[in-house]
Amino acid sequence: MTAPSFDQLFHPDNAGRYTTAMTDGLRLLLEQLARIDRPVTGLSPEVAAKPVLDVDLDRPLGDTSAALAEIRELWLDDTVYFHDTKYAAHLNCPVVIPALVAELFMAAINTSMDTFDQSVGGTFMERHLIDWTAARAGYPEGLRDGIFTSGGSQSNLQALLLARGEAQLRGVPLEKLRFFTSADCHFSIAKSARLLGMGDAAAVAVPTDGSRRMDVDELERMLADCVADGLVPAAVVATAGTTDFGVIDPLDRIANACSRYGAWFHIDAAYGGGLLASPRYRHLLDGIERSDSVTIDFHKSWYQPVSSSALIVRDLASMQHASWYADYLNPKESENPNQVDKSLQTTRRFDAVKLWMTLRVMGPDGLGACFDAAIDLAREVHDRLALMPDIETIARSQLSTVVFRYTNAALDEETLGELNRRIRSELWSSGRAVVAATKVDGRQFLKFTLLNPLATPEEILDIVEDVRALGRAVMEVAR
Ligand SMILES: Cc1ncc(COP(=O)(O)O)c(C=O)c1O
């Protein structure tokens, strides 16, 4: 089969073919979504790899419907469906329909956000959303700024680049800079220190307290030691919603420590940032207004398709550390508002339009209510699990994770770990549910991350019954 000619592939002079291809695609999508009755079919990596690797990419199929049939087989039939109520593993959200409509336009128009002359109104829509988000965080009008990024990892990297830049403006040599963050922070913080040329020792882990939040007394002690050793605390990173436990570090107390030591205060609210729109739980972020920068992942607790994230900053002057001017793109003398001036990316998707469309259809309260529902769900599930004699739980999350495991007093730690890993992989293979796993102080646990506002406590407790039944079955066999 030969490839279609140029005039069959581009629009807009091709409305007929455009409509047919889009309609075929939409039909397949809807059919597929209607067929799904479980979050995954449970293929192993070996089985998933074979048919994909057998495709000869030098031999095109030549038409859209054949290619759609192929991706259905290679991807759609066995992929993971985050909108299924029994997907309860990682920080993936089901996506809201207004955002999907915007995604289609974003891809079709192919706007790029680097310069005004590639985006026009898009530049101002993104800026307006950044300003709106930063206002919700309580940053001062006229000073606040920020940028959409590809995800929380990139937002954190940029925040720490700004923190490093501010310290270097004060003449501090790179090798003396330290970032302090909780032992339970996301790995992108330590990785950022490495990427920023500061070495692994520059990211210092502060122990957590009994509720798994950063121990601020320890932080104070470590900051004092840092200075006594002739080093400079360039930043403290609080996590507002740790990946595993969904807890929020004490923001106000950390802000106090930062002001005392002149350290940049960054908050990684990749997970908990959705609280900025929450009708009922916004107060959990009190103190956020005292930070210098915040990471917000719209593709987690704001129900947006991947990717959609932002870094917001208190003071736009700090964005200079991410700036570069090129004569062919954004010359220094340009009078246009060019977003590339403050971005780590050059060509960049108009992800902001998805959030724009979502807010214009649903409003912030409507969107925030989805995250509130997930938080309520996690609380109820946690409290029910805490009553079960063969289930061990970890302290209740402030957000929407539940860390737990099947337990039995007769088993030692190693066997319990093995048993829970086995339960998880059996659940995956059965396709009945997808749950995550993590270690707590070296001990193996399972984890629910609940973001789906449509999931009910009964559905999640059903997964727990599966976990218990699998646990009992494995014990039986071992006997
Ligand atoms: C607290 C936290 N920060 C940052 C990230 C990284 O975000 P992304 O996957 O969008 O890069 C995650 C991802 O789960 C996270 O939980």
Q: Is 189 in the pocket of ligand 1 (CB under 6 A)?
A: no
Distance of CA 55 from the midpoint of ligand 1 (Å)? 33
Distance of CA 1 from the midpoint of ligand 1 (Å)? 43
The bridge status of strand 443-449 relative to strand 401-406 is antiparallel
Neighbours of 195 (CB within 10 A): 13
Q: What is the pLDDT of residue 1?
A: 63
Which residues contact residue 332 at a Cβ distance below 8 angstroms, ignoring those fewer than 6 apart? 325
Q: Is 186 in the pocket of ligand 1 (CB under 6 A)?
A: yes
Match 């590339």 to its residue by tokens: 340
- Helical spans, DSSP H, in 210-297: 216-228, 251-261
- Taking 50 as the pLDDT cut, the residues of the chain under it are none
Q: What is the pLDDT of residue 170?
A: 96
Q: Is 270 in the pocket of ligand 1 (CB under 6 A)?
A: yes
Neighbours of 16 (CB within 10 A): 7
Atom of ligand 1 nearest to the CA of 243: 16
* Domains in the chain: ranges and CATH: 6-81 (1.20.1650.10), 111-360 (3.40.640.10)
Alpha-carbon distance values, 84 to 18, 96, 453 (Å)? 30, 13, 11
Substitution site in 156, 184, 243 for ligand 1 pocket (most atoms within 8 Å of beta carbon): 243
Atom of ligand 1 nearest to the CA of 151: 10
Q: Whose CA is nearest to atom 8 of ligand 1?
A: 152
Which residues contact residue 293 at a Cβ distance below 8 angstroms, ignoring those fewer than 6 apart? 159, 162, 163, 264, 265, 266, 267, 311, 312, 313, 314, 318
Distance of CA 110 from the midpoint of ligand 1 (Å)? 26
Q: Is 159 in the pocket of ligand 1 (CB under 6 A)?
A: no
**Strand arrangement, sheet containing 87-88:** 87-88, 434-440, 443-449, 401-406, 391-393
Q: Is 343 in the pocket of ligand 1 (CB under 6 A)?
A: no
Cα separation, 250 vs 41, whole angstroms: 41
Distance of CA 186 from the midpoint of ligand 1 (Å)? 6
Cα separation, 343 vs 340, whole angstroms: 5
Q: What is the pLDDT of residue 395?
A: 87
Atom of ligand 1 nearest to the CA of 300: 10
Cα separation, 406 vs 389, whole angstroms: 9
Backbone angles phi, psi at 24, to 5 degrees: -60, -45
Q: Is 184 in the pocket of ligand 1 (CB under 6 A)?
A: no
Alpha-carbon distance values, 418 to 90, 183, 268, 408, 446 (Å)? 21, 25, 32, 13, 12
Distance of CA 153 from the midpoint of ligand 1 (Å)? 6
Q: Is 447 in the pocket of ligand 1 (CB under 6 A)?
A: no
Q: Quick one: DSSP state of residue 151?
A: S
- Helical spans, DSSP H, in 137-241: 152-169, 188-195, 216-228
Counted residue by residue, the chain has a size of 479
Distance of CA 44 from the midpoint of ligand 1 (Å)? 25
Q: Is 150 in the pocket of ligand 1 (CB under 6 A)?
A: no
Cα separation, 113 vs 348, whole angstroms: 5
Q: What is the pLDDT of residue 6?
A: 75
Cα separation, 249 vs 241, whole angstroms: 8
Distance of CA 8 from the midpoint of ligand 1 (Å)? 40
Q: Whose CA is nearest to atom 4 of ligand 1?
A: 152
Atom of ligand 1 nearest to the CA of 155: 11
Q: What is the pLDDT of residue 417?
A: 97
Do residues 188 and 157 lie in contact, with contact meaning Cβ atoms separated by under 8 Å?
yes
Q: Whose CA is nearest to atom 16 of ligand 1?
A: 243
Q: Is 266 in the pocket of ligand 1 (CB under 6 A)?
A: no
Q: Which long-range contacts (CB under 8 A, 24 or more apart) does 163-170 make?
A: 163/234, 163/235, 163/263, 163/264, 163/266, 163/292, 163/293, 164/196, 164/198, 164/234, 164/235, 164/321, 165/318, 165/320, 165/321, 166/234, 166/264, 166/318, 166/321, 167/232, 167/234, 167/264
Q: Is 304 in the pocket of ligand 1 (CB under 6 A)?
A: no
- Helical spans, DSSP H, in 110-178: 121-136, 152-169
Distance of CA 167 from the midpoint of ligand 1 (Å)? 25
CA-based end-to-end distance of the chain: 60
Distance of CA 113 from the midpoint of ligand 1 (Å)? 23
Q: Whose CA is nearest to atom 5 of ligand 1?
A: 152
Is the peptide bond between 457 and the residue preceding it cis, with omega within 30 degrees of 0?
no
Across the chain, how many H-helices and E-strands are there?
13, 12
Substitution site in 90, 156, 186 for ligand 1 pocket (most atoms within 8 Å of beta carbon): 186
Q: Is 238 in the pocket of ligand 1 (CB under 6 A)?
A: no
In one-letter notation, the amino acid at residue 357 is M
If 0-12 CB within 10 Å is exposed, 13-18 middle and 19+ buried, where does residue 12 land? exposed
Alpha-carbon distance values, 28 to 37, 93, 313, 422 (Å)? 16, 21, 42, 35
